[in-house]
Amino acid sequence: MNAISSASAERKVHVPLGDRAYDILIGPGIISRAGAEIASRLKGRKAAIITDQNVAPLYLETLVKSLEGAGIAPAQLVLPAGEKTKSFEHLITVCDRVLEARVERNDCVIALGGGVIGDLAGFAAGIVRRGVRFVQVPTSLLSQVDSSVGGKTGINSRHGKNLIGVFHQPDLVLADTDVLNSLSAREFRAGYAEVAKYGLIDKPEFFAWLEANWKAVFAGGAARIEAIAASCQAKSDVVVADERENGPRALLNLGHTFGHALEAATAYDSARLVHGEGVSIGMVLAHEFSARMNLASPDDAKRVESHLKEVGLPTRMSDIPGSLPPAEKLLDAMAQDKKVKNGKFTFILTHGIGQSFIADDVPASEVLIFLKEKHPQ
Q: Is 256 a catalytic residue?
A: yes
Catalytic position from the list 11, 256, 303, 374: 256
Catalytic position from the list 83, 245, 263, 277: 245
Rounded-to-10 torsion of CA 24, 25, 27, 29: -130
Report the C-alpha gap between 345 and 361 in whole angstroms: 5
Catalytic position from the list 86, 197, 260, 287: 260
Q: Is 316 a catalytic residue?
A: no
Catalytic position from the list 83, 90, 253, 303: 253
- Please calculate the CA angle 116-175-108 and round it to the nearest 5 degrees: 65
Residue 375 phi, psi (nearest 5): -65, 135
Name the β-bridge partners of 152: 167
Cβ atoms within 10 Å of 215's Cβ, excluding its own: 10
Catalytic position from the list 86, 97, 152, 203: 152
Cβ atoms within 10 Å of 163's Cβ, excluding its own: 15
Catalytic position from the list 133, 161, 275, 287: 275
Catalytic position from the list 11, 189, 235, 307: 235
Residue 78 phi, psi (nearest 5): -110, 120
Q: Is 292 a catalytic residue?
A: no
Catalytic position from the list 89, 130, 158, 294: 130
Asked if 307 and 211 count as a contact pair (C-beta separation under 8 A), the reply is yes
Catalytic position from the list 46, 86, 249, 307: 249
Q: Is 253 a catalytic residue?
A: yes
Q: Is 105 a catalytic residue?
A: no
Give the CA distances from residue 236 to residues 169, 197, 229, 240, in Å, rounded to whole numbers and listed in that order. 12, 14, 10, 6
Catalytic position from the list 83, 194, 226, 277: 194
Report the C-alpha gap between 294 and 346 in whole angstroms: 17
Buried b (16+ CB within 10 A) or exposed e, 125-150: bbbbeeebbbbbbbbbbbbbbbbbbb
- Please calculate the CA angle 158-156-243 and round it to the nearest 5 degrees: 135
**E strand residue ranges, the chain:** 11-15, 22-27, 46-52, 73-79, 108-113, 133-138, 155-157, 160-164, 172-176, 345-350, 356-362
Q: Is 245 a catalytic residue?
A: yes
Which run of H or of E encompasses 187? helix 185-202
Q: Which of the 8 DSSP states describes residue 56?
A: I
Q: Is 84 a catalytic residue?
A: no
Report the C-alpha gap between 47 and 147 in whole angstroms: 21
Asked if 218 and 311 count as a contact pair (C-beta separation under 8 A), the reply is yes
Q: Is 90 a catalytic residue?
A: no
Q: Is 224 a catalytic residue?
A: no
Q: Is 235 a catalytic residue?
A: yes
Report the C-alpha gap between 17 and 2 in whole angstroms: 27
Instruction: Point out the residues that are catalytic.
Output: 130, 152, 194, 235, 245, 249, 253, 256, 260, 275
